Structure 1
Amino acid sequence: MNLEWMAWTPVTAGFFTFIILLLIGMTIWEIASPCVARRGFLPLTTTRGDRLFIGLLGSAYIHLTWVGLTDFPLWIATVIAACFLVIMMRWG
């Protein structure tokens, strides 16, 4: 029986470590300072967790679109996605 395993490159491990640390940090932040739902530029009322989820999902779509439609280096998409995530968390 041949089992295929995911290749844990340093970049992959770093990505998942970042997501786990982000979730731990958000949990600690929520315990220390409970969130109040608010409206930003999004057309719905959101909490910190909602904006984080929307930001991460949008960042994934930015990367997928970048890989599918351009031949430019991926680090440029990462910078754009990081800016998108910051904007979503701050003003979303």
Structure 2
Amino acid sequence: MFSWMVWTTPVAVFFSCIILMLIGMTIWELKSPTQERKGFLPLPTTRGDRLFIGLMAAAWVNLAFVGFGQKAAEWLALDQPPSVWISFVLSMLLLAFIMRKG
């Protein structure tokens, strides 16, 4: 069923984190319903809105990192492209920032 996808450790960790976030947000919403609030984003958002926006931003960071990884290796004269763990950490930090301040 999943043979079409390359299941490396970073990919499995990334998707596991997303699943855990969705479960956690569902439980949090059931325990404490959200109120809209205004952060740095240009519209009032709920926790679910900020999670969705944060996940989209995290996906774009990861795609950009994968897309520019080979170029970065050439520009910086590296033997191999930078580790995808770097993009994972950056995307999770961005997601946390959007969830907290967005």
* TM-score for both structures, normalised by structure 1: 0.83
Q: Any residues of structure 2 matched to 1:12-31 within 5 Å, and which?
A: 12-31=11-30
**Could you list the per-position Cα deviations for residues 9-60 of structure 1 after superposition, in whole angstroms to 9, with x for gaps in the alignment?**
4544433332222111101100111100111000011100010011111011
RMSD (CA atoms)? 2.0
Tell me the secondary structure at the aligned position of residue 38 of structure 1: coil
Return 65-74 or 6-15, whichever deviates more.
6-15
Give the gaps of 5 or more residues in structure 1.
none
Give the gaps of 5 or more residues in structure 2.
74-81
Q: Identity, % of aligned pairs?
A: 51
Flag the structure with higher strand content.
1
Q: Across the two proteins, how many residue pairs are aligned to each other?
A: 90
* TM-score for both structures, normalised by structure 2: 0.76
**Greater relative contact order: 1 or 2 (C-alpha under 8 angstroms, separation 6 or more)?**
2
- Which aligned segments of 4 or more residues in structure 1 are displaced greater than 6 angstroms? none
Structure 2 contact 37–44 (Cα < 8 Å) conserved = yes
